[in-house]
Amino acid sequence: MKILGSIQETRNLVKEWKAQGLSVALVPTMGYLHEGHKSLMERARKENDKVVVSIFVNPMQFGPNEDLEAYPRDLNRDAKICEAAGVDLIFHPEVSEMYGPDFHGFVDMTVLPEKLCGASRPVHFKGVQTVVTKLFHIIPAQRAYFGQKDAQQLAIIRRMVIDLDFDIEIIGCPIIREEDGLAKSSRNTYLSEEERRQAVILNESLNDAMCAIEAGEKDAAKVKEIITAKLNTCPLAKIDYVEVVSFDNIQPIEKVEGAVLIAIAVYIGTTRLIDNRIIM
């Protein structure tokens, strides 16, 4: 397995592979890898000849008061996980390699980034779209793998690829959870023991919503009420949002029908966690 920080060297190696007729997969990450990332790598490994994992904590997608500095980083640990998953190349650039002193470009979109995480993190998806565009240009893979954990991000990337004619297939992969149901996240490391215990409330509130929907509930407002009521039983939980939206355009809906995304963001103490259910 190779680890490269240079855009040019990475591009050259991927071009070599493609010239040999090999299929290439990209798994974009911010590192501090866990089983969720591993599931994307393993799926990419099965479906492609070469697997590239990018590890880059992208400053452009963090707001001024967010956790850019605190975000956990450990390249040695990540490299071992990648090696064990059969990854061929880690692309791990410095910030200065990705954003030179005269950098002014960005990619943004209307409508899809406005709601959910975009409402409380106004610069986030502009940063995500810009860095993913750069990664798609540096590593011209046939397929890129994203987790449904970040469902709005997945919807935005899918839309961006269609709208801007990227020649890449976007594969969405299921959420990997801890044994008690908490969605795996690099940010779970911020939680104290008590916060970690209470953080299961996100998944439990979504389970309650799914039970109600399976029992015939179609009213999106009622579904939101069920989730909110459950979250409010948890002393350490502070709701950022609870939303029921169309998975196609991330706009609020009144009836649970068609492709639906139920998405929540909740502070447990000072740590903001997200979770969701997608109904197709």
Residues that bind ligand AMP (CB under 6 A): 29-30, 36-37, 39-40, 146-147, 149-150, 173, 175-176, 183-186
Please state, as a whole number, how many other Cβ atoms lie within 10 Å of the Cβ of residue 262. Answer: 25
Rounded Cα distance, 149 and 272, in Å:
14
What CA–CA distances, in Å, run from 234 to 64, 125, 262? Answer: 29, 29, 19
CB of 276 to ligand AMP, least distance (A): 11
Q: Based on CB atoms, which residue is closest to ligand AMP, 39 or 48? A: 39
Report whether 231 contacts 242 (CB < 8 A): yes
Rounded Cα distance, 219 and 12, in Å:
53
CB of 185 to ligand AMP, least distance (A): 6
CB of 29 to ligand AMP, least distance (A): 4
Q: Based on CB atoms, which residue is closest to ligand AMP, 195 or 226? A: 195
Q: Based on CB atoms, which residue is closest to ligand AMP, 77 or 255? A: 77
Q: Based on CB atoms, which residue is closest to ligand AMP, 62 or 99? A: 62
Which of the residues are catalytic?
37
CB of 38 to ligand AMP, least distance (A): 9
